[in-house]
């Protein structure tokens, strides 16, 4: 059962169009706390490629503790994989 409200997660400038590994120090702990809250998750602070000077609206995503070292967040056609070492990889689910 969901608790009221939502958990807002600062995604620290994750580039949603980059397939390169990104490091976002502290993100895993933030996601773990948000996931453990039982609330719906909203990610903010995302960027969209070279258009990184323009704000991207906050994004709803669902998250799953995949294993002891990985949280997987999915929104639209993208999966954001975050390891317990704060390595972030964005994967397109349609390519």
pTM: 0.89
Q: How confident is the model over 21-73, as pLDDT tens digits?
A: 999 999 999 999 999 999 999 999 999 888 777 778 899 999 999 999 999 99
Cα 54 from Cα 7, distance rounded (Å): 23
Cα 41 from Cα 37, distance rounded (Å): 9
Q: How confident is the model over 47-59, as pLDDT tens digits?
A: 988 877 777 889 9
Q: Decide: 90 and 18 in contact? Cβ < 8 Å.
A: yes
Neighbours of 53 (CB within 10 A): 6
């Amino acid at each position: 059962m969901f608790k009221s409200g939502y958990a807002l997660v600062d995604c620290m400038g994750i580039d949603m169009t980059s397939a390169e590994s990104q490091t976002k120090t502290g993100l895993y702990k933030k996601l773990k706390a948000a996931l453990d809250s039982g609330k719906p998750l909203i990610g903010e602070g995302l960027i969209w490629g070279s258009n990184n000077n323009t704000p991207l609206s906050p994004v709803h995503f669902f998250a799953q503790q995949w294993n002891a070292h990985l949280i997987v967040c999915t929104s639209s056609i993208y999966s954001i994989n975050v390891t317990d070492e704060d390595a972030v990889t964005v994967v397109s689910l349609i390519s």
